[in-house]
Amino acid sequence: MAAASFIKAPAGQNPRLAIHAPGRGARVVRCSLGAAVGGRTEWLSSCAVLSSKVAALGPHSVNGHAAPAPVPNGAVLDLIPVSGVNGAAKNLPAPLRIADLSPAPMHGSELRVAYQGVPGAYSEKAAGKAYPGCDAIPCDQFEVAFQAVELWIADRAVLPVENSLGGSIHRNYDLLLRHRLHIVGEVQLPVHHCLLALPGVRKENITRVISHPQALAQCEHTITRMGLNVVREAFDDTAGAAEYVANNGLRDTAAIASSRAAELYGMEILADGIQDDCGNVTRFVMLAREPIVPRTDRPFKTSIVFAHDKEGTSVLFKVLSAFAFRDITLTKIESRPHRHRPIRLVDDANRGTAKHFEYMFYVDFQASLAEPRAQNALAEVQEFTSFLRVLGSYPMDMTPMTAGSSSTVTSSDS
């Protein structure tokens, strides 16, 4: 006995019926319904007639399709062979699988990671250390990297937040507050600067050195000790400076960048390791659309930002005390002017009107949000502040730092 089942048709197409006949394979009925088949009763009647006759259908076909078969009431039925035991037509989209609904790959070659700069930048190296084998996506600005993740162009972003010599990268702290991405990990990368020039260029031929402002500052004393009487000029990023020299054939200009930039842009290394301090390290954070689940089986760090609208320093003291009383170590605290409320006016009849800056406070502390002491500390902080936001709770980078090496700790979702 042949079995029949309905197949829902795409919008604008006629409904179809799948007929399964023993030994005959599956066929799909495409029926042109008009006045001839006026209701569900007549449609079911037609299907029943077809089901009873399908076993008698032979292998004959026209142009690879089963020959049309007349049915009652003038309805035109067309039998189309289909593949698959479920009677799914070849031209229909495949059903979603569990893999299609799974989140982005946690680690490895399929992960798309945005970074600021061009190939050869230190940020690209940090992205590769954070997510080995990833598909690194260069972005011309920090904000573009944030937007790439928000718009699903990238799965993660790896961006610098502070340098051991140059301090905080304030732009990225402001962007962390403006966007809704979450910190899911950190990576610390030793910075190893090189002086690059076109092949055949000697040091005495150089009259100008270009690079990122922080790279120029980090190599200032070394360049002076080398006896180079050069003009320093700031560029957007280190690898971009090397690319600019190479693309324009500038034989009087050198760039401060990484050894990988020299390899990518066909430049020679005139001097290796020209940073003034061998302990020059940049800290990067890994950003994702969703936070990770905090854990207690390894050291975690939590980053928050808060603001208060009360007078005096007592509020800040109370906030810091919430961590001190619970033996929570702070690793960073920094204030930034409040962008939307930069000035606070305080009226005083005797002294006129005082003007004070409004600040946002960024704090990193060594504890996981899975720990009750961290939860209780934040609950107390919230009582004294007008604004509190957790930027992320993530594994600390515990890899020992050595000169000329890189370290990484990926997030728990890796």
Question: 202-208: long-range contacts at Cβ-Cβ below 8 A with a sequence spacing of 24 or more?
Answer: 202/270, 203/228, 203/270, 203/271, 205/251, 205/252, 206/230, 206/252, 206/253, 206/254, 206/270, 207/231, 207/252, 207/253, 208/232, 208/233, 208/250, 208/252, 208/253, 208/254
| Distance from C-alpha of 61 to C-alpha of 58, rounded to nearest angstrom | 8
| Distance from C-alpha of 315 to C-alpha of 321, rounded to nearest angstrom | 10
Q: How far is CA 253 from CA 29, 58, 208, 316, in A?
A: 74, 82, 5, 49
| Distance from C-alpha of 240 to C-alpha of 249, rounded to nearest angstrom | 14
Judging by DSSP bridges, how do beta strands 156-163 and 281-288 pair with one another? antiparallel
List 284, 300, 323, 365, catalytic entry = 284
- Are 198 and 249 in contact by the 8 Å Cβ rule? The answer is yes
List 282, 302, 408, 410, catalytic entry = 282
| Distance from C-alpha of 182 to C-alpha of 48, rounded to nearest angstrom | 59
Could you tell me the sign of the dihedral formed by the alpha carbons of 337, 341, 343, 346, in that order? Answer: negative
Strand partners of residue 359: 337
| Distance from C-alpha of 335 to C-alpha of 200, rounded to nearest angstrom | 48
**In the annotation, is 282 catalytic?**
yes
| Distance from C-alpha of 251 to C-alpha of 221, rounded to nearest angstrom | 23
Question: 5-11: long-range contacts at Cβ-Cβ below 8 A with a sequence spacing of 24 or more?
Answer: 5/87, 7/87, 7/88, 7/89, 10/92
Give me the active site residues, please: 282, 284
